[in-house]
């Protein structure tokens, strides 16, 4: 393809969505299928994936459910090796949040490992098949990041789950920035986009069993929005005529809810040097992990 065919009508387009069984991923899958897209649901639980796929509006070709565990790079590499078809839009949606220090199968801190490293490997391996856009879910939480490229997995610092999540979301924006630069340098028609869904009531914020709910837990259902509303900035990034590198988010309540528009990001999220260094650091960590 020599130009971006993506539009609000997604008939005959293939959209691959990670984490499509619940929350924003499921809402995004529902929305793009309603616009005619064939959806590839890349999910950890294929039984749940099939249930969601059965509920989607039918496409010209059947929707596909495939197993993908972003916290296991062997799974990511296997998934990518088994993908040969063109993908019009890749939506890097899946995400985790954790208040305690946990690790992926490969030893990365769970949030940076899943939200950033897993999607980094998936995207770089699938990029030859992507024809139109890569949309990566980020968050305004990136503004609270203190990203330490020398300690991405919190081996030396006291663990802070909220800060680690913010780090992973800044990493998503820096990844998009560097991917955009590389695509433009290669004169590629593919666009790298980022989307902030706003404050969405999803299972990601559920407390572990036995933990007492706090003020935040009581506020979330009041100020948070539905996954369907959270999917709107993702759809905007995936379908609107916007320049590569754009960051979209909700229109209202400090970009926390309602509608979709282009939004700003922090100075750090626009730092080309930091983006290039994160890319190089991630490549090195992933290569070391394979040995």
Q: Is the dihedral of CA 90, 47, 74, 94 positive or negative?
A: positive
List 225's β-bridge partners, or say none: 200
Length of the chain equals 291
Catalytic residue among 79, 108, 154, 165: 165
Q: How far is CA 191 from CA 129, 136, 238, in A?
A: 13, 11, 9
Question: Order of strands, edge to edge, in the sheet holding 64-67?
Answer: 64-67, 38-43, 14-18, 87-92, 130-137, 191-195, 247-249, 261-262
Q: How far is CA 51 from CA 21, 223, 263, in A?
A: 8, 29, 34
d(CA 176, CA 2): 21
R_g over Cα of the chain: 18
Tokens of 83: 């993908």
Tokens of 97: 């949040």
165 is catalytic: yes
H or E segment to which residue 89 belongs: strand 87-92
* Residues carrying an active site annotation: 165
């Amino acid at each position: 393809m020599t130009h971006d065919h993506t539009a609000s009508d997604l008939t005959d387009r293939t959209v691959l969505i990670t984490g499509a069984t619940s929350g924003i991923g499921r809402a995004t899958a529902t929305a793009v299928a309603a616009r005619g897209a064939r959806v590839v649901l890349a999910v950890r639980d294929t039984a749940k994936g099939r249930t969601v796929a059965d509920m989607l509006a039918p496409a010209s070709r059947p929707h596909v459910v495939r197993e993908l565990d972003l916290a296991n790079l062997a799974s990511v590499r296997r998934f990518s090796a088994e993908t040969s078809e063109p993908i019009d839009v890749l939506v890097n949606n899946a995400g985790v949040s954790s208040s305690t220090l946990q690790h992926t199968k490969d030893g990365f801190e769970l949030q940076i490992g899943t939200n950033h490293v897993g999607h980094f490997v998936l995207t770089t391996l699938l990029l030859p098949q992507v024809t139109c856009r890569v949309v990566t879910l980020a968050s305004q939480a990136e503004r609270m990041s203190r990203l330490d490229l020398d300690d991405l997995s919190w081996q030396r610092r006291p663990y802070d789950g909220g800060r680690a999540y913010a780090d992973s979301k800044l990493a998503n924006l820096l990844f998009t920035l560097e991917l955009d630069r590389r695509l433009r340098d290669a004169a590629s028609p593919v666009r790298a986009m980022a989307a902030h869904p706003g404050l969405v009531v999803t299972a990601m914020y559920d407390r572990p069993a036995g933990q007492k709910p706090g003020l935040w837990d009581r506020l979330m259902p009041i100020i948070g929005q539905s996954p369907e509303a959270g999917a709107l900035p993702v759809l905007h990034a995936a379908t609107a005529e916007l320049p590569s590198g754009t960051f979209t988010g909700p229109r209202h309540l400090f970009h926390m809810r309602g509608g979709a528009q282009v939004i700003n990001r922090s100075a750090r999220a626009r730092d080309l040097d930091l983006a290039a260094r994160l890319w190089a650091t991630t490549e090195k960590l992933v290569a070391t992990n394979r040995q």
